């Protein structure tokens, strides 16, 4: 469980933010198809909350979640 004061971003929003998906619908399809790994495990929940340090992999590209003040 995530502490209440820790910043998070949902997986579908993250994919749009980094440019892997153009729309929420596209992000949903990508995630539900099992093409995304979070911390080296397949993730199919688009609402998965990512925290600082989580690793997201899509199409052999690796991203690390970082929040800046």
Domain containing 28 — which CATH number? Answer: 3.10.290.10
pLDDT tens digit sequence for 15-26: 999 999 999 999
Mean pLDDT, all residues of the chain: 95
- Entry pTM: 0.90
Q: Give residue 31's domain range.
A: 9-64
pLDDT tens digit sequence for 33-52: 999 999 999 999 999 999 99
pLDDT over 70 percentage in the chain: 96
- The verdict on residue 1 lying in a domain is no
Look at the chain and report how many structural domains it folds into: 1
- The verdict on residue 3 lying in a domain is no
Segment 54-62 shows an average pLDDT of 98
- The verdict on residue 34 lying in a domain is yes
CB 53, CB 67: distance < 8 Å: no
- The verdict on residue 48 lying in a domain is yes
- What pLDDT is attached to residue 69? 73
Rounded CA separation 19/10 (Å): 14
């Amino acid at each position: 469980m995530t502490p209440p004061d820790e910043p998070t971003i949902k997986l579908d929003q993250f994919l749009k933010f980094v440019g892997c998906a153009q729309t929420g619908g596209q992000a949903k399809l990508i995630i539900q198809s099992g093409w995304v790994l979070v911390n080296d495990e397949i993730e199919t929940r688009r609402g998965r909350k990512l925290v600082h340090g989580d690793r997201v992999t899509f199409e052999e590209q690796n991203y690390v979640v970082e929040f800046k003040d």
